[in-house]
């Protein structure tokens, strides 16, 4: 099980970040991925495997600021 954006998610099998982003229907160019508090560069998404206990943040830009 991994944690994605604060929620627990079951992984059927280990997946790469690329595969996970695709499965969730994100546009790769519009998100940034942080794995266990480290930024994972897009170039190595394909070789980064998500495993049990990982804490993932998938972030995007939105309108807004402090309010």
Partner 1 sequence: MSTEMKNTEDKLILGGHEFTSRFILGSGKFSLELVKACIEEAGAQIVTLALRRANQGGLANILDYVPKDVTLLPNTSGARNAEEAVRIARLSRELGCGDFVKIEVIHDSKYLLPDNYETIKATEILAKEGFVVMPYMYPDLNAARDLVNAGAACVMPLGSPIGSNKGICTKEFIQILIDEIDLPIIVDAGIGRPSQACEAMEMGAAAVMANTAIATAGDVRVMAEAFKKAIEAGRSAYLSGMGRTLERGASASSPLTGFLHD
Which part of the chain contacts partner 1 (CB under 8 A), choosing from 9-17, 23-31, 44-52? 23-31
Does 5 bind partner 1 (CB under 8 A)? Our answer is yes
CB 20 within 8 A of CB 44: no
Does 27 bind partner 1 (CB under 8 A)? Our answer is yes
d(CA 50, CA 57): 12
Identified binder of partner 1 from the candidate list 11, 18, 26, 54, rule CB under 8 A: 26
Identified binder of partner 1 from the candidate list 13, 25, 52, 53, rule CB under 8 A: 25
Tokens of 55: 């804490």
């Amino acid at each position: 099980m991994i944690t994605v954006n604060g929620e627990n998610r079951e992984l059927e099998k280990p997946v790469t970040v690329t595969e996970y982003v695709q499965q969730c229907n994100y546009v790769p160019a519009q998100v940034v991925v942080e794995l266990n508090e480290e930024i994972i560069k897009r170039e190595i998404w394909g070789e980064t495997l998500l495993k049990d206990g990982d804490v993932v943040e998938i972030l995007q830009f939105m309108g807004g600021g402090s309010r």
